[in-house]
Amino acid sequence: MTIQEAQEKIDSWINTTGVRYFSELTNMAILTEEVGEVARIMARKYGDQSSKESDTKKLLADELADVMWVLLCIANQTGIDMTVALEKNFEKKNIRDAQRHHNNPKLKS
């Protein structure tokens, strides 16, 4: 599925099953909540924090998909084509960061 197809599928789902979009501010709060769930998994699986029984049922892939879902909702309701936005972001990074990471001593192995 392309990013554009994902945006279209989400829009269709929101306007049928979901009835309507939550407000932009509500979606921003939901996005923050979902990122927190990703952080919780990361801290337990890849970090030093121990897990509780309830943590074992959460899947990183599912939580990342939740983040993407809400992010694409925000893009849809603010009129942003994320394919175009991501392409422009790559252009920006290719100019700004062309040598930046190669010259970072912290990344040398």
Residue-wise pLDDT for 49-78, tens only, equals: 998 888 888 999 999 999 999 999 999 999
The CA-CA-CA angle for residues 5, 39, 80, to 5°, reads 30
Contact 77, 18 (CB under 8 A): no
What percent of the chain has pLDDT above 70?
100
Which residues of the chain are under the pLDDT cut of 50? none
Q: What is the DSSP string of 4-71?
A: HHHHHHHHHHHHHTS-SPPPHHHHHHHHHHHHHHHHHHHHHHTSSPPPPGGGGG--HHHHHHHHHHHH
60: left (phi over 0), alpha (psi -120 to 50) or beta: alpha
Sign, CA torsion 13/15/20/23: positive
